[in-house]
A and B are shown apart, each in its own frame.
Chain A
């Protein structure tokens, strides 16, 4: 294991930025399959310049999704999945907030329907999950 220093400044949003680019998503997929690789090996997999690979890796590193470690003349890149979980938690929290709002909307509409037409509404059939 490469010792990883916790990057306290990063947050879930950096992960979204990192994942917004298709090349970086492919890079993460490759890294998760290949395990630790050198930047040279990554450059062989991707049809882009070493400079471009390095730039994408910097973005992934800002998001905490990769560690890079110098070994001799090479740099070894290792995938770190943990920030993905933080991002998933963050998304879940936003979703929960919308669920609360939508439940409030449903209650608002139900209350209004009850006020207007207490007993003449047809039964609500055919409403599935």
Chain B
């Protein structure tokens, strides 16, 4: 039985870089924008607003929720139609993404937890899958390529 199923997903990867290098990659707007492949603009401070530019998926708001230097950062991002900026962000459907860092060997383990899917309205969940046409094969190829490069 999947009785323990939650509205959370968790992924993890070991990066062959130092803890502070990994921290910079997940907390510097310019760096995170590069690998995330969408533009993030924000100041790294709890409560600070985030401006996401998802290209054809539109402009979205977010908020820096938690900053624990070198350990953990939590960002909120809105889903669906977030065009009406007069609506407070807390009243717009959103999920949280948490980035957690731990030392592992010479590298750094990064764990991503995205949560809050149960609170998304039905139509948004389909939307959130639209951009999901690439499969596992390509993923494995990317990871393979990374280890060959590293």
Contact = CB atoms under 8 A, between A and B. Distances in A.
Interface of A: 9-14, 16-17, 19-20, 25-26, 28-29, 32, 84, 87-88, 90-91, 93-111, 113-114, 122, 124-129
Interface in B70-95: none
Contact count band on B: 35 or more
Nearest to A104: B35
Given A11-B122, A12-B125, A113-B17, A102 B149 contact: no
Given A13-B122, A29-B1, A97-B132, A108 B11 contact: no
A10 B122 CA distance: 8
B16 A105 contact: no
Nearest to B31: A108
Contacts of A107: 35, 142, 145-146, 149
Contacts of A10: 122
- SS class of chain B's interface: helix, strand, loop or mixed? mixed
Nearest to A10: B122
B53 interface: no
Nearest to B1: A29
Interface in B3-17: 3-7, 9, 11, 13-17
A116 to B, nearest CB: 10
A110 B150 contact: yes
A29 B2 CA distance: 9
A113 B18 CA distance: 11
B117 interface: yes
B61 to A, nearest CB: 20
A44 to B, nearest CB: 21
